[in-house]
Structure 1
Amino acid sequence: MVRSPQVQDFPLLLEVFRGGLKLGLISREEVVLWADNIIANADDPHYFFIEVSLSHDLNNLIEVLNRYVEQTEDPICDRVLLSLVYHRQPIFDIDAIEKVATLLGSMSLWNKLTSFEKNTIYEFEDYYVYYSPDLTQLQVELINFLGIYKAFTLENYKQWVDINLQVSELLKEEEVKVNIVNQSVRKAWAKKEKKRKLKFYLKKIGAIVLLLGFFSLMIALLDDGKTNHITLYFIVFYLFIRLVYGWWRKR
């Protein structure tokens, strides 16, 4: 006699169902149809599947899942949901890309993903800071990022563990690429900042030189051959030394 399916046979799939229902990525009808198929092909179906089949609305279905399904820390579930965003959201429609970015932002608090994944999603959440007003680059990066997960589907859940290994490698490769780009950006910024500081100090030195020249000229014009201007010369020299010292400290 063939063993009837049990709740514990689908830990990851049921967690994805729950998350997908909450995010609007999976419909109640899909989950009910899945349960109905199990009931139709099982000699003694677990009562859980019957409850799913008889759920009268979305909230009731989520309540059933909450009673039976334990939360998991496996990142596979979140990655499958990201795949559903890729396959089921209008990411190729530039007019709807803000909606997709907002949806991803609601996933940024999930702690199952790597730091690289969470940081990337965080940037999508604050798209108006990083990409506005031109959203074309946002769309390109959304498609590239979500495309990493596209091999996951609800139908191939038995292969999720193997697919996740491939996705993990793709994420590592993408992280290396991003780090290289970020490093180049940081170097370019540092070079630009160095030039900016140099221009600033050159202007400051130029102003001091002009000031020194002005004081020297005034001293020369007012010199009657009797007054001792050593104190004034000392003050001017002190100001010049302070300027040079300040520049050296801030290099």
Structure 2
Amino acid sequence: MTDEAPPVNEATDSDTKPKKKQRPFWRELPILIVVALLLSFLLQTFIARVYLIPSESMEPTLHGCAGCTGDRILVEKLSYTFGDPKPGDVIVFLGPDSWSADYQSIRSDNSVIRTMQNAGSVFGVVPPDENDLVKRVIATGGQTVECCDDQGRVMVNGKPLDEPYVVNDFPFVPGQLTCDTERKSGRCFGPVTVPDGNLWMMGDNRNNSADSRYHVGDELQGTVPVDNVRGKAVFIILPPGRMGTISSPDIQSN
């Protein structure tokens, strides 16, 4: 009869290694906040940003007015990273100097609060302190734009535009109130040849929009440099009842 050694239990790695304690949430929170701010910065800078419509110049396509709840629109930037704005696009752009004479800063007079507002703007939680406007592209560099033909339509390179989105416009009565009668229609302007690298912009609410027509006497003939474009308006995200896409028809297809 032989003596047998008692069985020995081999220790596993899981038995010998100390269990790692889970980091408390409050210690992870600063990291999560930094990551969220970084992602927001990248999104707002390179992908898309939300803008508030402040005026009636794009009615009825976009809603906005003093003291009311204006549309909030998503403005994407990728389209113009690889191409230029096209006639019919609704875009957000920085108003040239002559368009910004009446602009009032939205920043606080308090230096501390103003610094916090500027920091918030970088990450998209505060609007940028600049005269950002929204209008529709009507003509691009090298094209000649004017109004009107015998039906009161805007023309580009002598061809009338198809603009179903225009609801409100100045009166135009063939034979009575045109661009050739003694009392001219308020629609009449031009012709203006758009400089290369610039855009001719007009609001859809034609009789209530301080657009390229209003600034035609400035050094850019009322046009806007493509470099001022912030992005293309593609979607109304608020209020819920107006949620939907923003059309960009080919207005020069005639």
The TM-score range, normalised by the shorter chain, is: under 0.3
RCO higher in structure (CA 8 A, sep ≥6):
2
Task: State the TM-score, normalizing by the size of structure 2.
Answer: 0.21
More helix by share: 1
Task: State the TM-score, normalizing by the size of structure 1.
Answer: 0.21
